[in-house]
Amino acid sequence: MKDVYQIILQPLITEKSTILRESNKYAFVVDRNATKPQIRRAAEELFDIEGDILKIRTMRVRGKPKGKMLRYQRGRKPHWKKAIITLKEGATIQAFDTI
């Protein structure tokens, strides 16, 4: 099994994710092949929130094209996977709050 640090890669801090925090949702960049159960276990272990996770939604984000056409091929940023973890009411992810 992959290491937890290789499943949850980094917190996703953007305007949108900040708004989501109001409804107790936390956004992360996760491994592209990680599954919801894997993310759930990794999060529980990383942030010490066993049993607090209500649900996890994931989506694959296509990397944006970048640069110019180069020999009929355009470069692009890598695709990645976003996970939004919804916690039960009252639970928090401490690490996230101090960023």
Partner 1 sequence: MKVQIERLETTRVRLDIEIPSEDVNAALAETCESLRTQVSIPGFRKGRVPIAILKSRFPEYVNSEAVRYLVAPAYEDAIYNERLNPLTQPTFTPPLDELNVKENEPFTFSATVDIRPNISLPSYDELVTDKNPVNVPREDVDAYITRLQAQSATYEPLDVERQVQANDCVRIDWECLLDGNRIDAESRQDVDIELGVGAIHEKLEQALIGMEIGDTNNVDIDFPADHNVAELAGKSAQYEITLHAITEKQLPALDDEFAKDLGYENYSQLYGLIWNNLVEEETSLHVDKQKAELLEQLIEKIEISIPDLLVDQYVQQTLRNVKQQLANEHRSPEDAGINMETLPDELRRDVIQQTKQSWIFETIAEKEGISVSDDELEYEIRRAAEQQNRDAQKYASLLKSNNRLEDFRGQLQHEKIYQFLINRASAKQSLIIT
Q: Is 77 in the site for partner 1 (CB under 8 A)?
A: no
14 vs 73, beta carbon nearer partner 1 = 14
Local structure of 92: helix, strand or coil: coil
User: Angle at the Cα of 97 (from 95 to 99), degrees rounded to 5?
Assistant: 80
Q: Is 95 in the site for partner 1 (CB under 8 A)?
A: no
Nearby residues of 62 by Cβ (< 8 Å), 6 or more positions away = 76, 79
Q: Is 15 in the site for partner 1 (CB under 8 A)?
A: yes
Q: Is 59 in the site for partner 1 (CB under 8 A)?
A: no
Contacting residues toward partner 1, per CB under 8 A: 12-15, 17-18, 98-99
